[in-house]
Amino acid sequence: MRNHTVVTEYILLGIPETEGLETVLFSLFSSLYLCTVLGNMLILSAIISSSRLHTPMYFFLANLSVFDLGFSSTTAPKTLSYLSGLSQGISFQGCATQLFFYHFLGCTECFLYTVMAYDRFVAICFPLRYVVIMNHRVCTILATGTWMGGCIHAIILTSLIFQLSYCGSNKVSYYFCDIPAILPLACGDTSLAQRVGFTNVGLLSLICFFLILVSYTRIGIAISKIRSAEGRQRAFSTCSAHMTAILCAYGPVIIIYLQPNPSALLGAIIQILNNHVTPMLNPLIYSLRNQDVKSALRNAFPKRGFALKKN
């Protein structure tokens, strides 16, 4: 029998193979986080202030902005803290909280993109019935369901991970608390947590991605039947931003959790793209080619309207 010390604190070792680059990484991460916060706050301000944007599509876009703010804030503050030279430690409860919110918001993202694809499907395939189908009650139920589904998913995963005994090393070979980094530190049998984690994270993402593909296949067929070139271009432009955001979001999730022997550095790079770059890009993706959002921003911030006009 050996004596074990129960873990009460973890030490985050940071991004693999980046020793000596803390200053550069701090500048990069702080810039990404600042742009994420500013961009998504602008999108939220535009949607709230403009009555023209009080439609189902922009209602779900506002939910996406709230998600992006929360998702990036789950890991960015602690990452910036240790990159600036402060403590790399995180309490056991803090690690569990970080893992919970990471998977809560990550699952909510999958559901939310699926709902947004369904919204575009209804708008393009059933334009005359769109207002009736996507009424206020339906939109509220769909949005609430995405957040509740993400919460249930995170509760299951967090409970399975942190009911295990952690009595060995407390050094996490990563820059935040995630399942692949925490599970190897457990003392007990982790097979159940691994199977549930694989099913809930990997397969759930694939199912949502499949439903999105079905929606956009139907959308593509509907667009091909539109006779006027202007009508096809207008229909395609409303979907192109969402398709771009989906590719940025789903690619990293599938690669990280479904590869049999993940590379530590490759996994970290992909997850940085998913955690920090995608939330920053979403406001740009959804606003650069959207005249309604640009107009709302000019009205919300008239003193800065001249900058938007130039673009």
Which three-class secondary structure string do you get for 114-128? HHHHHHHHHHHHCHH
The SS3 call for residue 135 is: coil
Q: What's the pLDDT at 308?
A: 47
Q: What's the pLDDT at 82?
A: 82
Q: Which residues is 10 bridged to in the sheet? A: 90
> Which portions of the chain are predicted below pLDDT 70?
1-6, 231, 234-235, 237-238, 241, 251-265, 288-289, 300-311
Amino acid, res. 96? A
- pTM of this structure: 0.83
Q: What's the pLDDT at 194?
A: 78
| Cα gap 286→68, rounded to integer Å | 13
Q: What's the pLDDT at 184?
A: 81
Tens of pLDDT along 243-297?
777 777 776 666 665 665 656 667 777 778 778 888 888 888 777 667 777 777 7
| Cα gap 282→278, rounded to integer Å | 6
Q: Give the E-state strand segments of 94-220 in sequence order.
A: 171-172
